[in-house]
Structure 1
Amino acid sequence: LRETGLIALGDKGYHGYDTTGHVITPCKGRNKPESQKDANRAHARLRAPGERANAQLKTWRILRKLRCCPRRAGRLAKAIHVLQNYEITAG
């Protein structure tokens, strides 16, 4: 991430993993000030679409025991995404 200049949003399990600031995690602990609660809510809103997409991909059995080139896996994931969107809009 550092080399490409990208920033990732991690969950609380990644807290302290990256000291360079390229993995942003929500604030931990109880009785947080309102500003930290707001920051955590914003963090969750940004992560939610990716979490939903991963959950949808996991429901497709073809990806469970995939034994092919990683490039083909990416193409399969894109095809699944298209089918999933079609199913949602048509249903």
Structure 2
Amino acid sequence: MLGQALHKAKRDGLHYLVLDGMLIHTDRPYFSGKHRVHGMNVQVIASPGGTILWTSGALPGKAHDLSAARIRGVLPALEQAGIITLADKAYQGAKGPVRTPYKGDPAG
């Protein structure tokens, strides 16, 4: 389904996408130390306008966004599609078309 969503995005002429991880709150059993709540990590790919194009299956809330994207095969799929994808600092170290902000001062 990820491949189909990316193919449709390309066919629709989208010049870039947005990738982000989201913590879905649950009563139990997975605890996210970062957010200090129980939850599940879901990866989301959206259009520049915010339309959700694809969501991953849920992983335990303690999963880091970059790890979750790797587990779900998001990075190779984006590489194959060749669509520039904007992401937050949690995806630093992702290769291919994923673009993240600089950590710290880029000049120093």
* Structure with more of its chain in helix, by fraction: 1
Question: Highest relative contact order (Cα 8 Å, sep 6+), 1 or 2?
Answer: 2
Calculate the TM-score normalised by the size of structure 2. 0.25
* Structure with more of its chain in strand, by fraction: 2
Calculate the TM-score normalised by the size of structure 1. 0.29
